[in-house]
Structure formats: C-alpha cells, structure tokens
Amino acid sequence: MLQEFYDTGLLSAAQLNAAQAAPLDVIKDGRLPHNRFPAFMDLVRTQITADFDEKALREGNLSIFTTLDPAAQLYTEQAITSALKSLGKRGDGVQAAGVVTNAQTGSVLAMVGSRTPDDPGFNRAMDIRRQIGSTIKPFVYLVALTQPQRWNLASMMDDSPISMRQPNGSVWTPQNDDHQSHDPLIMVDALAHSWNLATIHLGMAVGLPRIQAFLKSFGIGDINPSPSLLIGALDLAPLQVAQLYQYLAADGHALPLLAVRGVLDGKGRTIKRYQVQPGPGEYQEAVRLVTWAMQQVAEYGTASAIGNSALASLHAAGKTGTSNDMRDSWFAGFTGEHLAVFWMGRDDNKPTTLFGASGGLRAWRDLFAKLPTRPLAAAPGPGLEMAWINPEDGRRTEPQCQGAQQVPVVAGSLPAETDGCFWQSVQGLFGGGAPASSTSTPIRE
C-alpha cells in the first residue's frame, strides 16, 4: 500500500522510507474494550434480564441486537465533555448524564451516566433521583389543555403571590425567579418564561389529583402530594424524564424506551423481538399545543440560546429545569427526529450555580451542533388553527391591532368574534360609540 502511494505521487521518497522504517505499533494481546458503553449496556442488561434468566444468557449462545447508534453515542459523550469544559472552574465536581432517543420510536440511541463516559461505576442516567425543577411544567399545562373549552394558550394566567400553610404548620411562599409578578399574562408566555406563580395557580385550578394521575400513568411512584410538585419537587432519573418527554416527542404516543431490538438463538432464529406497535395517540391536540409552546421556550423563553443560534432552523421544542438552590440543571428537548435529556449536578447535592440554561442546555446544544437530525415542524399540526389574540385579555383580535399575538388553538374552541380593536380605533379617532365586538376588517392605525 505504501509503495502504491509512492508510485502515484501521494508520498515522496523520503516519506516512503520513513513510513517503511516506522514500527507498526501492534499492541500485544490487543482487544476491543469489554464495556465501551457502560451506561447504555446497563440498560440493555436491565431489559434483557426481564425476559431471560442468567442461565439462558450464559448458556444459550444468544445474539442480542441493540438500538445503540455509535455516532449518537460518541456525540453525546463529546457534548457532555465540551459543556463541562466550557464551564471552567464552575464545572469542577459537577457530574452529568444524558439520554438520547429516536423521537418517533422510543429507541434509546445513546446513554451517558458520568462525566467520564467510559466509567463503569454509578450510572446517573438510570440510578440517580434528583428534583427535576421546571421540566415538570409542560405536563401541568398539558393536563389543563386537555380541556380546550376551559383553557388554551391564550388563556389569561394568574401570576399573583401565593402563600400556603403546609401540614407541618410552615408557610410556603414560592416566588418567580425574578421575584416579580407579571400581569397581564397569557398561558404560552407563562410557560415560555417558566413563571412559577402562574404554573401553581393553574395547577391548583386543574387539580393536583389529575396531574398526579397523569404522572402515575408513566409508572412514576412516590409522587409528591403537595403543590410544590407543580414546580418540580419530584425526584426522577434522566431516563424517567426522557420517558415523559418521549410522550410529547411522539405526538401523544406513550412508547416504552427500548435498548434491545431482538434476540437470536445459536442457529440464528429469532426468539424474541422487541417492537412496539403504537396505538392511537392520546390527547394529541393538547400535546401539539404544548409542543408549540415549548418551541416558544426555545425561541424567546428560557432556552432562547437555541433560537438565537444556528440551531434555530431545527424549530426544537424544549424546557429548562433548575432545582432549589441550583443543585440540579436540566434540559429536555426534541427535534423531528431526536429527543435528548441532559442533567448536571453534584454527587454531594451541593449547589452548582448552574441554571438549566447554563448547564444542561449547553450539552444539548453541543450535541445537536454535530448530530444530523430532522427539524421539528413549525406548524402546530392537525386539529389546530392559528388565531390572532390580544395578550391583554386573551380574546380574538385582528392582526392589525396593536400588540396582536398569534397562537394555535383547538379548532372551533374560541368564539369567532374579535375584541373590538376596529371600533376602539374608530372611537379614539371620532369619539363615537361602538359595539363591543366586531368581525369586520379593522382599519390599520
């Protein structure tokens, strides 16, 4: 081969001689790493041992086919490494974990359980239980939006201060991150900016039992019974958060996250196939509304670092999360093809000084800067229509009206009448009376 390179002019005579004289660097007793992807293989073992006992696995001469995507795995490892490195001294002592899935099928493509990806020790992607912070909020809004005659993305939100006495006699007084209340405020903006007070008021109106029942349907136990659940007082592993967000990424299909495709016996015969046939989706219109709202999170909300970057064309949907005292940094987000969840925190549970946007989101952005993926549709999807609304009152208005904002709503769920912007304009110009509403085309002011 070297001689051919020389004959074709790719190598000079000096380069040929040097290459021929160099040692081959053959490693004595060289072999592939026994467990190159320890976190992912933990999941494989967990799933395969649910169907095969140890004796069958040892003696069955079985071939196990997994869902691992080596490129996605490599990019996920690099994303965690580069994100932690970019934090400088703030990254000292910070651990990390990540899970990447196929957004449509639930196949687990990559998993990292440590800031040292090939560390076979504690697998944080599966085994930690940490407060998920605001990554819970899309599901509070989702449960509300399953009642389109009562709530929609233009519904006016109550963001006033809250004070609740707890069973132990203490008083719970949650606050927004900016220590302010926001009024007026519509639902999509409350989620985009992750306002705690608005979410708590909404969750209490929806009812804690309904939200708890939704979470339990995903196999989550030990759910916090208090209102603090509504802003993320729930301990989950990154894999569990990925399972929740898979429901959104798959358009309302509850798909189990699988790391195994199938198992063959020693003669090449299929003895077990792991394949999910999704049934009809559930609450798809509500899922599509929440997905669109999460796209606004990435466009102008707490994850605007996506919308302000080259990744804006992905139209990604996502949500940041930060636990109390900045102990945990989360980001969960998906495109049309991939879902990725990242967590950062310390094993000793001390504060990291990282928000979701400054920790987990960094790793997500570093991953999708390399991982080829399909953009998420910018349109809100079937069953919905775009409506111009007045963010001052949440009612329909005309696009020419001052401050008009466009949001998707379930088709037919909003009254057709507008809020009278046209007549307000006329009244301001001529001082005359006018009806309270009109469907006429307004005059441009």
pLDDT for position 417: 85
The pLDDT, as a whole number, for residue 44 is 96
User: Of 34-48, 228-242, 270-284, 414-428, which gets the smallest average pLDDT?
Assistant: 414-428
Q: What span, in angstroms and rounded, lies between the C-alpha atoms of 33 and 48?
A: 21
Closest to 291 (Cα-Cα) out of 330, 329, 250, 257:
250
Q: What is the pLDDT of residues 227-274, one digit of tens each?
A: 999 999 999 999 999 999 999 999 999 999 999 999 998 888 898 898
Residues 6+ apart with CB under 8 A from 191: 137, 138, 141, 199, 290, 293, 294, 296, 297, 301
Give the pLDDT score at 181.
Answer: 95
- Output 81 or 444, whichever has higher pLDDT: 81
Count the alpha carbons within 13 Å of 392 in the hemisphere toward its beta carbon. 8
* Structure-model confidence comparison of residues 377 and 430, the more confident one: 377
The rounded Cα 163 to chain-centroid distance in angstroms is 30
Tokens of 9: 């002019």
Instruction: Give the pLDDT band of residue 23 (cuts 50, 70, 90).
Output: low
Where do the CATH 3.40.710.10 domains begin and end in the chain?
Answer: 70-253+282-368
Q: Tell me, what's the pLDDT at 196?
A: 98
Four-point Cα dihedral 271, 110, 249, 238, nearest 10:
110
pLDDT computed for residue 397 by the predictor: 94
Residues 6+ apart with CB under 8 A from 141: 187, 191, 199, 202, 290, 293
- Pairing state between β 338-345 and 328-334: antiparallel
Please list the alpha-helical segments (H only) found in 130-232: 137-145, 187-192, 196-206, 208-216
C-alpha dist (Å) from residue 355 to 132, 239, 359: 12, 20, 6
User: What is residue 229's DSSP assignment?
Assistant: G
259 by Cβ neighbours in 10 Å (0-12 / 13-18 / 19+) ranks as buried
Q: Copy the structure tokens of residue 227.
A: 């209102």
Averaged over 283-311, what is the pLDDT? 97
320 contacts 331 by C-beta, under 8 angstroms: yes
pLDDT of residue 339 exceeding 70:
yes
Label residues 20-40 b or e (16+ Cβ within 10 Å = b).
Answer: eeeeeeeeeeeeeeeeebbbb
295 closest CA partner among 343, 322, 246, 335: 335
Query: Mean pLDDT: which of 70-84, 387-401, 428-442 is highest?
Result: 70-84
Find the helix packing angle between 208-216 and 196-206, rounded to 10°. 90
Max avg pLDDT among 82-86, 277-281, 399-403: 82-86
By mean pLDDT, which of 60-64, 78-82, 245-249 is the weakest?
A: 60-64
Q: Which pLDDT score is estimated for 442? A: 32
At 441, is the pLDDT very low, low, confident or very high (cuts 50, 70, 90)? very low
Residue for token digits 């006016």? Answer: 156
Tokens, residue 80: 């965690």
Per-chain mean pLDDT for the chain: 89
pTM more than 0.85: yes
Which tens digit of pLDDT belongs to each residue from 91-144? 999 999 999 999 999 999 999 999 999 988 899 999 999 999 999 999 999 999
CATH superfamily of 70-253+282-368: DD-peptidase/beta-lactamase superfamily (3.40.710.10)
Q: Rounded to whole angstroms, what are the CA distances from 259 to 232, 269, 428?
A: 28, 20, 64
Per cent of the chain over pLDDT 90 is: 74
Backbone angles phi, psi at 296, to 5 degrees: -75, -30
Residue range 410-430: average pLDDT? Answer: 69
Query: Which residue did the predictor score with more confidence, 394 or 18?
Result: 394
Q: Stretch 19-36: mean pLDDT, rounded?
A: 58
Per-residue model confidence (pLDDT) at position 5: 65
What is the tens place of the pLDDT at every residue in 301-332?
999 999 999 999 999 999 999 999 999 999 99
Residue 277 CB-half CA count within 13 A? 1
DSSP string, 39-101: HHHHHHHHHHTTTS-HHHHHHS--EEEE---HHHHHHHHHHHHHHHHHTGGGGTT-EEEEEEE
137 with 116: CB under 8 angstroms? no
Report the DSSP pairing between strands 171-172 and 164-165: antiparallel
* The pLDDT of residue 179 is above 60: yes
Asked if the model's pLDDT at residue 20 lies above 80, the reply is no
Phi, psi angles (nearest 5°) of residue 265: -85, -175
Judge whether residue 437 has pLDDT over 90: no
Q: How far is CA 175 from CA 80, 195, 231, 233, 303, in A?
A: 31, 9, 11, 14, 20
Per-residue pLDDT, averaged over 369-391, amounts to 95
